[in-house]
Chain A
Amino acid sequence: MPVVIVDGQEIEIGADERLNCIEAARRAGKEIPHYCWHPGLSVVASCRMCLIETGQRDAATGKISMVPKLVPGCQTPVKDGTVIVTESPLVKESRARVEEALLIDHPIDCPICDKAGECLLQDYHFEHGQAERRADLHPFTSRKRDMGPTVTLFVDRCIMCTRCVRFTREISGTAELMVTSRGAKEEIDVFPGHPLDNKLSGNVVDLCPVGALGDKDFLYQQRVWFLKREANVCGGCSAGCSIFTEHNQDAVYRLKPRENPHVNKWWICDDGRYGWHHLHDSSRILEASRKAVRPDRRDNGSVTPAVETIEWSDVVTKLRADLKAAGRLAVAVSPMLTIEEAWMLCAVARSIDPQAWLAPGFVPVTGNDESFPGDFTIRAEKCPNRRGIEEVLALYGAGGRSWNDLVAHVAAAHADAAWITGGYPGPWIDTATAESFAGLGQLVVQDLFDSPLMRLASWRLPAAGFAERAGTWVNVAHHAQSFSQAIRPPAGVWPEGRLFWNMLGRRGLYDPVSVRQQIAGSSAALAALAGEMPATGVDLRIHQLA
Chain B
Amino acid sequence: MQPFKPVLLEAVGVPNGYTIASYKSRGGYAPLEKILAEKQPAEVVEMVKASGLRGRGGAGFSTGLKWTFLPKDHPGPIYLCINADESEPGTFNNRILMEDDPHQVIEGIILSAYATRASTAYIYLRYEYPQSWHRLEAAIDEAYAAGYLGKNIRGTNFSLDIYLHRGAAAYICGEETGLIESLEGKRAWPRIKPPFPAIEGLFHKPTVVNNIETMACVAQIARRGIEWFKSIGVPADPNNPRDPGSYGPKLYCLSGHVEKPGCYEAPLGITARELINHFGGGVWKGRKAKAVIPGGISMGLMTESELDTPLDFAGPGKVGCLGLGTAAVVVIDDQTSIVDFLHNSCRFFAHESCGQCTPCREGTSWSLRMLERMKAGKGRLKDLDILLEIGNTMGMMPGSTICGLADGAAWPIKNAIKKFRGEFEDYIKRTNPSGWMVTDPVPALQIVGAH
Whether A69 and B397, one on each chain, are in contact in the complex, defined by CB atoms closer than 8 angstroms, is: yes
Contact in complex: B366, A112 (CB < 8 Å): no
CA distance A339 to B354 in the complex (A): 55
CA–CA, A137 and B367, complex, Å: 11
- A132-B442, A133-B442 given; A182·B355 CB < 8 A: yes
Which residues of A lie under 8 Å from residue B351 when comparing CB positions? 182-183
A184–B446 touching, CB < 8 Å: no
Cβ B450 vs Cβ A112 within 8 A: yes
A88 CB, nearest partner CB in chain B, Å: 13
Q: Does A101 contact B (CB under 8 A)?
A: yes
Inter-subunit contact B400/A51 (CB<8 Å): yes
Give Cα distance in the complex from A375 to B441, angstroms. Answer: 50
Pick the contact of A109 from B192, B363, B386, B448 — CB < 8 Å? B448
Say whether B353 contacts A183, CB under 8 Å: yes
Chain B interface, DSSP helix/strand/loop, else mixed: loop
CB distance from B304 to the nearest CB of A (A): 33
Q: Which residues of B contact A133 (CB under 8 A)?
A: 441-442
A140 and B446 within 8 A (CB): yes
CB of B397 to closest CB in A, whole Å: 7
B358 interface neighbour in A135, A137, A159, Cβ under 8 Å: A159
Docked-complex contact B366 and A137, CB < 8 angstroms = yes
Chain A min CB distance to B164 (Å): 25
Complex contact B362–A104 (CB within 8 A)? yes
- Minimum CB–CB distance from A229 to chain B (whole Å) comes to 27
Is A102 in contact with chain B by the CB < 8 A criterion? yes
Measured CB to CB, the nearest residue on chain B to A98 is B358
Interface string of B350-366 (1 = CB under 8 A from A): 11111111110111111
The answer to whether B451 and A51 have CB atoms under 8 Å apart is no
Which of A105, A108, A159, A182 gathers most chain B CB within 10 Å? Answer: A182
Binary interface encoding of chain A residues 152-189 relative to chain B, with 1 for a CB under 8 A from any of its CBs, else 0: 00100001100000000000000000010111111000
Q: Is B96 an interface residue (CB 8 A)?
A: no
Interface pair A45/B358, CB less than 8 Å apart = no
Most buried by A among B172, B352, B354: B354
Would you call A139 and B446 a contact (CB within 8 A)? yes
Question: Chain B residues near A538 (CB, 8 Å)?
Answer: none
**Chain B residues, Cβ within 8 Å of A48:** 357-359, 400-401
Inter-chain contact total with CB atoms closer than 8 Å: 117
In whole angstroms, how far apart are the Cα atoms of A513 and B449 in the complex? Answer: 53
In the bound complex, residues from chain B placing their C-beta under 8 Å from that of A144 are: 451
Contact present for A46 and B357 (CB under 8 Å): yes
A107 within 8 A of B: yes
Closest to B351 in A: A183
CB nearest neighbor in A for B368: A184
A154 and B449 CA atoms in complex are apart in Å by 13
Which residues of B are found within 8 Å of A185, using beta-carbon distances? 355
For A132, the chain B residues whose CB sits under 8 A away are: 441-442
Residues of B within 8 A of A324 (CB): none
Take A160-B355, A182-B170, A184-B353 as given contacts and tell me if A45 and B362 are in contact as well, using a CB distance cutoff of 8 Å. no
Looking across the interface, which residue of chain B has its beta carbon closest to that of A159? B358
Q: Is the CB–CB distance between B352 and A182 below 8 Å?
A: yes
B361–A184 contact, CB under 8 A? yes
Q: Does any Cβ of B come within 8 Å of A309's Cβ?
A: no
CA distance in complex: A338, B362 (Å): 53
B389 proximity list for chain A (CB < 8 A): 97
B-side contacts of A17, CB under 8 Å:
none
Do the beta carbons of A101 and B451 come within 8 Å of each other? no
B363→A51 contact, CB < 8 A: no
Q: Given that A112-B450, A183-B353 are known contacts, is A101 also in contact with B369, CB under 8 Å in the complex?
A: no
Contacts of B192 in A (CB 8 A): 43-45, 72, 75
Contact A183 B445, beta carbon cutoff 8 Å: no
Q: Does A71 contact B (CB under 8 A)?
A: yes
Q: Are B446 and A182 in contact (CB under 8 A)?
A: no
Pick from A69, A71, A104, A107: contact of B448, CB below 8 A: A107
Query: With A94-B400, A112-B450, A132-B442 in contact, do A101 and B363 touch (Cβ < 8 Å)?
Result: yes
Known: A48-B400, A182-B351, A183-B352. A160 touches B361 (CB 8 A): yes
Number of interface residues of B (CB under 8 A): 40
A73-115 vs B, Cβ < 8 Å mask (1 yes, 0 no): 0010000000000000000011001100110110111001000
* A144 shortest CB reach to chain B, Å: 5
Cβ-defined contact, A47 with B358, below 8 A: yes
Chain B hits for A147, CB < 8 A:
none
**Quick one: which of B355, B356, B366, B398 contacts A70, CB cutoff 8 A?**
B398
* Chain B residues within an 8 Å CB radius of A140: 445-446, 448
Min CB distance A191 to B, Å, is 13
Q: B363 to chain A: which residues have CB within 8 Å?
A: 101
Asked if B393 is at the interface (CB within 8 A of a chain A CB), the reply is yes
Docked Cα-Cα span, A465 to B449, in Å, equals 41
From residue A122, how far is it (CB to closest CB) to chain B in Å? Answer: 15
Complex partner residue of B451 from A69, A94, A138, A142, CB under 8 angstroms = A142
> For B189, what are the chain A residues with a Cβ–Cβ distance below 8 Å?
44, 46
Q: Is B319 an interface residue (CB 8 A)?
A: no
The digit string for B412-448, where 1 denotes a CB below 8 A from any CB of A, is 0000000000000000000000000000011101101
**Cβ contact of B443, chosen from A136, A183, A184, cutoff 8 A:** A136
Give Cα A107–Cα B356 distance, bound, in whole angstroms: 20
In the bound complex, CA of A135 to CA of B372 (Å): 13
A136: nearest chain-B partner, CB-CB: B442
Chain B residues in 8 Å Cβ range of A183? 350-355, 361, 364-365
Given contacts A132-B442, A134-B386, A144-B451, contact A102 B353 (CB under 8 A): no
The distance from the CB of B194 to the nearest CB of chain A, in whole angstroms, is 9
Q: Is B187 an interface residue (CB 8 A)?
A: yes
Which residues of B, 216-266, contact A by the 8 Å Cβ criterion?
none
- B187 contacts across to A, CB distance below 8 A: 179
**Given A43-B192, A183-B351, A184-B353, does the pair A71, B361 have CB atoms closer than 8 Å?**
no
B399 at the interface (CB under 8 A from A): yes
**A49 an interface residue at 8 Å Cβ cutoff?**
yes
B367 to chain A, nearest CB (A): 10
Q: Of the candidates B362, B369, B442, which one forms a contact with A134 in the assembled complex, judged by CB atoms under 8 Å apart?
A: B442
- Can you give 30 A-B contacts (C-beta < 8 A)? A45-B192, A46-B189, A46-B358, A46-B402, A47-B358, A48-B400, A48-B401, A51-B399, A69-B398, A70-B400, A93-B393, A94-B400, A97-B389, A97-B400, A101-B361, A101-B366, A102-B358, A104-B365, A104-B366, A108-B445, A109-B448, A112-B448, A112-B450, A112-B451, A134-B441, A142-B449, A142-B451, A179-B187, A182-B352, A183-B351
Nearest 3 Cβ contacts at the A-B interface: A184-B365, A70-B399, A101-B362
B interface, CB within 8 angstroms of A? 170, 172, 187, 189, 192, 350-359, 361-366, 369, 386, 389, 393, 397-402, 441-443, 445-446, 448-451
Interface residues of A (CB under 8 A from B): 43-49, 51, 69-72, 75, 93-94, 97-98, 101-102, 104-105, 107-109, 112, 132-140, 142, 144, 154, 159-160, 179, 181-186
Besides A70-B400, A98-B358, A138-B446, 5 other A-B contacts (C-beta < 8 A): A46-B402, A132-B442, A136-B443, A179-B355, A182-B355
